[in-house]
Amino acid sequence: MSHDVHKVRAFEHPGEGRRRAKATPKGRQVDPTAAHEIELLLGDRPRRRDLLIEFLHLIQDKYHQISAAHLAALADEMSLSFAEVFETATFYAHFDVVKEGEKDIPPLTIRVCDSLTCAMMGAEQLLSELQNKAGPDVRVVRAPCVGFCDSAPVAEVGHRYVLNAKASDVLDTAARGEVHPIIPSFVDYDAYVKDGGYKLLGDLRAGRVSKEDILKVLDDSSLRGLGGAGFPTGRKWRAVLGEPGPRVMAVNADEGEPGTFKDRFYLLRDVHRFLEGMLIGAHIIDAEDVYIYLRDEYPAAHKLLPIEIAKLPPGGPRIHLRRGAGAYICGEESSLLESLEGKRGLPRHKPPYPFQVGLFGMPTLINNLETLFWVRDLVEKGASWWTSQGRNGRHGLRSYSVSGRVKDPGVKLAPAGVTVRELIDEFCGGMADGHTFHAYLPGGASGGILPASMDDIPLDFGTLEKYGCFIGSAAVVIMSQQDSVKAAALNLMRFFEDESCGQCTPCRVGTQKAAILMQRPVWNRALLDELSQAMRDASICGLGQAASNPVTSVIKYFPEEFVPKEAAE
């Protein structure tokens, strides 16, 4: 074998010498065939713990499942316990672990998104039709948001998406064996360079532009993290730079918030604008390694990125592309770090914060993909260009992911502070035919739900909190009179229940109990309020803290939903 494998020596007791191994070793035995298959699959890759999830993907991709025999062989090959490998494999939804005695999984899987926008557009009917009509060699399962909310409902056949899906289209795609992703038209390296791309990076590396020049633009423009938290970008870069090296950078491209798809939009259209911003950030903090954590639901991006990364100007940091595995919690920055280290995505307690003790214990700069996308434009056009944008007293631009009952859904680059009414009328072509504006989610699944009567609130950081909502990653879902906000809140709570990592009781049990209470014909509002408060106060991370926002906002702003029909009549 071409790599070093750690061998555990037999126990030596003082004065007794080495004990002879028992004829029948304890623990799970490694199947020789599985061991050979794993050795061939891993090839000459280093057997590092942080590559465990990548190796699980190799098994899943080749065999369409992960058997107990392969898990045991992988554990042996990496000198890990079976428990360590098993707990990681079973944590992530996209690893189909087949336990001993269970039937093999069919070779083809069709996933039907059942998150809010897809549910509004008929996902349940689509799922039912596919389950009834798919053959024995096809498995049809539910899937949480896959990031194509503007084309709902959506189904994934292997790694090929069928948008605005009908059952017949999905089954025809499967019958033709069209299971590989399609890369859309995009600005490639040559076109990007021709348009001035990487000049700023070159000037920075050559000293013609200083680190302080870049940081000042970020400070003056007040660019904030666009993944949802909104932390000032310049301040974050300075904080990491202020820690002793070595330092590392991580890109959070794991947008899994139902309703959000802006990162996919930019990545698959102008990938090098993001990559240049990433390399500038790495240079500022002197990072020798950059890790891009990209959600598994974006197979086209996984196919595109290695091709374009290989074309980058020489002399930069080592770039590691890592693949998520279907865990919404890994969008939380400390969970992302755990996943990058090859572990379950369990949030870390803070402090210390990632800028102090992050990936592999090093100070780590973590930025959302879209945040980095804007760095070049900000420096070339100036901070005043950015701050001159905005409405209703706000500044800058926002990429709103708009889905639901509008004529023209999609990513809408609009002034920060635009209202939902302006967004619908000016950027989305108005409401869809036959639909009347009834309610909206201003910030994705965890950002709350507001009535149409509150359509004049500027959509930006800091404008929605007093209403119990927030903008987050600016995922705006528009609902009409045909949609029930109670049903929407239940859909979202089931999502949080499924995606809770289970580490803390308030989130693990709270989301489960809330979903049960919300399925009842009459909500116990007092009990739901009490449960929501406990989740907000005691959950470790933002998932549990924000999961109840849709519930509390429905109770507060939609009293008509709780009036019996006979009373209303």
pLDDT at 4 over 90: no
What is the rounded CA–CA span in Å between residue 294 and residue 266? 13
Q: What is the pLDDT of residues 39-91, one digit of tens each?
A: 999 999 999 999 999 999 999 999 999 999 999 999 999 999 999 999 999 99
pLDDT of residue 100: 85
Q: What is the pLDDT of residues 333-382, one digit of tens each?
A: 999 999 999 999 999 999 999 999 999 999 999 999 999 999 999 999 99
E-strand stretches of 164-306: 247-253, 287-294
Q: Which of the four pLDDT bands, split at 50, 70 and 90, describes residue 561? A: confident
The Cβ of residue 344 has, within 10 Å, a number of other Cβ atoms equal to 21
Quick one: DSSP state of residue 250? Answer: E
Q: What is the pLDDT of residues 210-241, one digit of tens each?
A: 999 999 999 999 999 999 889 999 999 999 99
The Cβ of residue 106 has, within 10 Å, a number of other Cβ atoms equal to 16
Nearest residue to 62 (alpha-carbon basis) of 43, 88, 82, 48: 43
- The average pLDDT across 176-191 equals 97
pTM of the model: 0.93
Q: What is the percentage of the chain residues whose pLDDT exceeds 90?
A: 92
What is the rounded CA–CA span in Å between residue 171 and residue 110? 9
Quick one: DSSP state of residue 426? Answer: I
Q: If you write DSSP's letter for every residue of 476-544 in order, what string do you get?
A: EEEEETTS-HHHHHHHHHHHHHHH--S-SHHHHHHHHHHHHHHTSSS--HHHHHHHHHHHHHH-SSHHH
Nearest residue to 48 (alpha-carbon basis) of 364, 331, 360: 360
pLDDT of residue 26: 52
Let me know: does 411 contact 261? Beta carbons within 8 Å: yes
- The average pLDDT across 424-449 equals 97
Nearest residue to 226 (alpha-carbon basis) of 48, 415, 447, 398: 398
pLDDT at 567 over 50: no
Q: What is the pLDDT of residues 478-497, one digit of tens each?
A: 999 999 999 999 999 999 99
Residue 379: which residues within 8 A CB-CB, separation 6 or more?
Answer: 200, 209, 213, 214, 217
Q: Which of the four pLDDT bands, split at 50, 70 and 90, describes residue 560? A: confident
Residue 336: which residues within 8 A CB-CB, separation 6 or more?
Answer: 250, 252, 254, 293, 330, 345, 366
- The average pLDDT across 135-153 equals 96
Phi and psi, residue 241, nearest 5°: -60, -25
Strand 12-13 relative to strand 17-18, pairing: antiparallel
Strand 138-143 relative to strand 410-415, pairing: unpaired
Q: What is the pLDDT of residues 263-294, one digit of tens each?
A: 999 999 999 999 999 999 999 999 999 999 99
pLDDT at 460 over 80: yes
pLDDT at 1 over 70: no
pLDDT at 310 over 70: yes
The Cβ of residue 183 has, within 10 Å, a number of other Cβ atoms equal to 12
Helix 211-221 × helix 271-284 angle, to 10° = 120
pLDDT at 24 over 50: no
253, 254, 255, 256: CA torsion to nearest 10:
170
What is the rounded CA–CA span in Å between residue 377 and residue 384? 11
pLDDT of residue 564: 55
